[in-house]
Amino acid sequence: MKIKLLTAISCSVNGTHKHGDVVDWKDPAEAKRLIAAGEAQAVGSPKKTKTEKATSIKADETAALD
């Protein structure tokens, strides 16, 4: 489970991390306990942004001067 740490944490399974690190915590139950205790925040997967793409090229308009 991905979490953002609000405090520095060190353990033998997940290693040493500082405040603000976003980590993939190996034990989801433990990650939920860290969130409940206020030691971490849940991080969702980033939302995909819709990219606008050109689909066809339109002919340029021309003006006639008489």
Question: Residue 23: inside a domain, yes or no?
Answer: yes
Q: pLDDT tens track of the chain, all 66 residues?
A: 899 999 999 888 888 999 999 999 989 999 999 999 999 999 986 666 777 777 777 777 777 776
> What pLDDT is attached to residue 45?
64
Question: Residue 58: inside a domain, yes or no?
Answer: no
Tokens of 58: 């339109």
> What pLDDT is attached to residue 61?
72
16 and 5 Cβ atoms separated by less than 8 Å: no
Tally of domains in the chain: 1
Question: Residue 48: inside a domain, yes or no?
Answer: no
Question: Residue 33: inside a domain, yes or no?
Answer: yes
> What pLDDT is attached to residue 66?
65
Separation CA 15–CA 38 (nearest Å): 19
> What pLDDT is attached to residue 53?
76
